Amino acid sequence: MTPSFEAPRAMPPEELACLPRASFLGDILVAETPQETLDALQRLANDRVLGFDTETRPTFKRGVCYNPSLIQLAGENVVVLVRAGGFGAWEALAEILGDRKVIKAGVAVRDDLAALAKIGPVTPKAFEDVGEWARRVGWPVTGLRNLAAALLGVRVSKKARLTNWEAKALSPAQVTYAATDAWVSRKLFLAMKKLRLPKKDSSLCALPGDRRSPG
């Protein structure tokens, strides 16, 4: 950890509520079909760092679970939201997820990738779990919301998290929420990288299929 940077703390709710709400203001592409997915992914072709997340329909019954309904990939100026109808372009999605030259940053990415593996074959590479990174360097906060508050000075709303992600059409609130979550993950990775935090073998979540040398 750089000597000049104090480890972030968990922010009290009343203090967190005073922060400006995070909101991605760039282009958001919602891909509903395989062709729309292919076209949308082309917009990310020049990005070397992507924010990554998934959304799944919530379940309120014991023993009932669902596959992911949405995959989010956030570039600098564009966020692509791939709905289940677009999973038919799985080969293109798997190619990005397995590209060593494109960093995918998120929180709890191991769980997301395990869920995606139930949809189609994927060999994930170049994934960075910012929450795991924070934990490994000894920070007391590791969740997206607290990290965003501490490092970016913004409040991440979670109001849409438990909504129906399998709805026929996503609401504007769902679209904004999904895009912002992935975009914030990207911003967090870049902010932590700028701090030159230690990145040893154990600093980041080791994912199946990821055999990169230490960064």
122: domain CATH number is 3.30.420.10
In the structure, what pLDDT confidence band is assigned to residue 152 with cuts at 50, 70 and 90?
A: very high
pLDDT, position 203: 39
For residue 52, the enclosing domain spans 13-203
Number of domains in the chain: 1
Tell me which DSSP letter residue 21 carries: B
Is residue 99 pLDDT above 90, yes or no?
yes
Could you tell me if 72 and 31 are in contact, meaning their C-beta atoms sit under 8 angstroms apart? no
Q: Does 107 reside within a domain?
A: yes
pLDDT, position 197: 83
Q: What average pLDDT does range 149-161 have in this prediction?
A: 92
Q: Does 18 reside within a domain?
A: yes
Distances (CA, A) of 214 to 99, 198, 201, 203, 204: 17, 11, 6, 9, 10
Q: Does 215 reside within a domain?
A: no
Closest among 187, 205, 199 to 108, alpha carbons compared: 205
Q: Does 179 reside within a domain?
A: yes
Q: Does 210 reside within a domain?
A: no
State the Cα–Cα distance between residues 17 and 20, nearest whole angstrom: 8
Q: Does 5 reside within a domain?
A: no
pLDDT, position 190: 97
Q: Does 140 reside within a domain?
A: yes
Per the prediction, the chain carries an average pLDDT of: 89
Is residue 211 pLDDT above 60, yes or no?
no
Least confident of 65-79, 172-186, 197-211: 197-211
In the structure, what pLDDT confidence band is assigned to residue 171 with cuts at 50, 70 and 90?
A: very high
Is residue 202 pLDDT above 50, yes or no?
no
pLDDT, position 4: 55
Q: Does 7 reside within a domain?
A: no
State the Cα–Cα distance between residues 203 and 13, nearest whole angstrom: 29
Q: What average pLDDT does range 113-142 have in this prediction?
A: 93
